[in-house]
Amino acid sequence: MKIASWNINSVRFRAAIVEQFLKEAAPDVLCLQETKVVDDDFPFELFRSLGYDHIIIHGQRMHHGVAIVARVPIAEDDRLDWQANAEARHVGIRLPNGVRLENVYIPAGGDVPDREVNPKFGQKLDFLGRMIEWSGKLDCPTILTGDFNIAPLESDVWSHKQLLDVVSHTPIEVETLARLQASNDWVDLGRHFIPAPQRLYTWWSYRAKDWAASDRGRRLDHMWATRDVADKAVAHQVFEPCRSWLKPSDHIPIMTEFDF
């Protein structure tokens, strides 16, 4: 089973590259973040025409929004409000084998890494705190994937030194994400298959005139699994060419293959 994740930054605006990815990579399950669409306007027919008949969505107009589409039967499990303000940032399902799949869009956290002057940064840390509490109580095989908006390792960013004070790579964010990982012995599948200090990025800013030439990337998108599920993982891919497709997202898809 191949499970993919992609912050698509508007699923309707980028419908063409979503279709291209599904045809070329053929994941069995695709988790989307930042769909930016209310449930009634979600492009169901696009996915159904490609064989993705099973669709679970948690939408929101203009901002946020998550969705899971699949070629295999899936059952909705939960929608957790880790933001504590009803933003559409999570949806969870059960796969046919009983494994939980949690799709999350963690807040970016604004521009200033100080909760006293930037409430958005505090919301991000509190969001992660609620995830840590949830994770510590998990007692079943689970995959956690999505846009975490944190690049934890020095080799997850183009310049560790220059980004230490930039939201997504600050010490407090890195430490908080490490606590989340330790709360249930999660395996970071990206780094399991592509060990540090190898270069591994999933996001490049739209501000760069030539993103590939400057290569100022960060690894913001992740796929984790509890130890029992991670033992079934056989491959992990990052689809860097997608960043050059027509009307690209600033994120690229990631995909893990499991031998269930």
Q: Domains in the chain, start-ordered, CATH in brackets?
A: 2-258 (3.60.10.10)
Instruction: Give me the percent of the chain exceeding a pLDDT of 70.
Output: 100
**Is the torsion defined by CA of 203, 239, 156, 6 positive or negative?**
positive
Q: Which tokens hold the place of 100?
A: 């939980």
**Chain-wide mean pLDDT for the chain?**
97
Q: What is the pLDDT of residue 60?
A: 87
Q: What is the pLDDT of residue 90?
A: 98
Instruction: Give me the active site residues, please.
Output: 105, 147, 251
With contact defined as beta carbons under 8 Å apart, do 94 and 140 qualify?
Answer: no
Which contiguous run of DSSP H or E holds residue 77? strand 75-78
- Annotated binding residue 85: no
- Annotated binding residue 81: no
Please classify residue 110 by burial: count the beta carbons closer than 10 Å to its beta carbon, then call 0-12 exposed, 13-18 middle and 19+ buried. middle
Contacts of residue 204, defined as CB under 8 A and 6 or more positions apart, other chains included, come to 211, 212, 215, 216, 217, 218, 243, 250
Q: What is the pLDDT of residue 46?
A: 97
- Annotated binding residue 250: yes
- pLDDT category at 18 given cuts 50, 70, 90 is very high
pLDDT tops 90 at residue 5: yes
Rounded CA-CA distance 178/173 in Å is 9
Question: 174: how many CB neighbours lie within 10 A of its CB?
Answer: 17
- pLDDT category at 76 given cuts 50, 70, 90 is confident
With contact defined as beta carbons under 8 Å apart, do 37 and 51 qualify?
Answer: no
- Annotated binding residue 34: yes
